Amino acid sequence: MNDIIMHDVIILGSGPAGLTAALYCARANKKTLVLGGATLGGQTAGIAKLENYPGFMGSGTELSEFMKKQAETFGAEIVFETATNISGDAEGGFNITCTNGRHYVGRTVIIATGASPRKLEIQGARELMGKGVSYCATCDGFFYYGKDVIVMGGGNSALNDALYLADVAKSVKIVYRKGAFTRAEAVLRNRVAERENIECLFNTDLAKIMAGPDDRLTVTTTAGDEIITDGLFVAIGHEANTDYLSEEIARDNMGRLAPDALPTGMYVAGDVESGIKMQIATAVGTGCTAAMDAIAYLNSKQ
């Protein structure tokens, strides 16, 4: 076990919300530790071309690196470990256990662990994950150069994935269970409509996936139609990363947390917070709010 050091603030997650909170807490001269999970940036790191965050144009990885360095400039410590359990309280300190067995203690905790892609629960989806079924176009798109792929979903994430894959794959089919992309931004809808190698299959849902000939997939729709494809990219929403929290902490149907339902000294920011839009700009704002609330609480105890 490592030597236990009491931190003023421990932030779980290194996405835009967590890194913003780290910046504010460190600048307030609070001993700040970020447990950044497996990789820097969370979902932001998977954005190849970031266009809707004011004042920045580039990749999600570039933005994450910049935010990390800025927080570190003011003294925030960032380590890439993942929390598996939180116990204790603000009076005696929140005790956090990580996957590597290390323990950390904080006077306050900011939950900014974000969300993960919702898994497709149909026949064959789990068995073929990593064998033709993917949840990350920017991670796996390279393997489908010159091939045929399907994107399942109808929101911004699905259309962004389709546009990214259209630059790599021979053809892209977007399968969406509704009759129009009502949830996606107009600029993305227009770009999809302009791409000759993207085909939209509306009012279509999938029933099962099977391994087909030549390492391809046979995808069957609920109407009984079969589509032969090389890969299926799933973008059907997200679920909050909150499994490590005790059952006493209330969650909504997406696993997200309401700020006013949390124990004293515990705060939430970013995609894991209930009732907010899942956008980088929103995550930054909630990270700022959570940090300022934590700072005010710590100052009240001095």
Catalytic residue among 3, 25, 89, 136: 136
Q: Name residue 88's beta-bridge partners.
A: 94
Residue with tokens 């929140």: 94
> How many Å apart are CA 78 and CA 72, to the nearest integer?
8
Q: Is 136 a catalytic residue?
A: yes
Q: Is the separation of the CB atoms in 229 and 203 below 8 Å? A: no
Structure token pair of residue 230? 């090389």
Is the CA virtual torsion 175, 162, 190, 186 positive or negative? positive
Length of the chain: 302
CB 106 within 8 A of CB 6: yes
Active-site residue (options: 3, 25, 98, 140): 140
Cα(first)–Cα(last) distance of the chain, in Å? 30
CA distance 46 to 64: 11
Active site residue 98: no
**Residue 71: burial class (beta carbons within 10 Å; 0-12, 13-18, 19+):** buried
What is the rounded CA–CA span in Å between residue 44 and residue 60?
Answer: 5
The residues with which 116 forms a beta bridge, in sequence order, are 239
CA separation, residue 15 to residues 18, 227, 251 (Å): 5, 37, 20
Q: Which of 139, 167, 225, 243 is catalytic?
A: 139
DSSP per-residue string spanning 24-50: HHHHTT--EEEE--SSTTGGGGG-SSB
Residues belonging to the active site: 136, 139-140
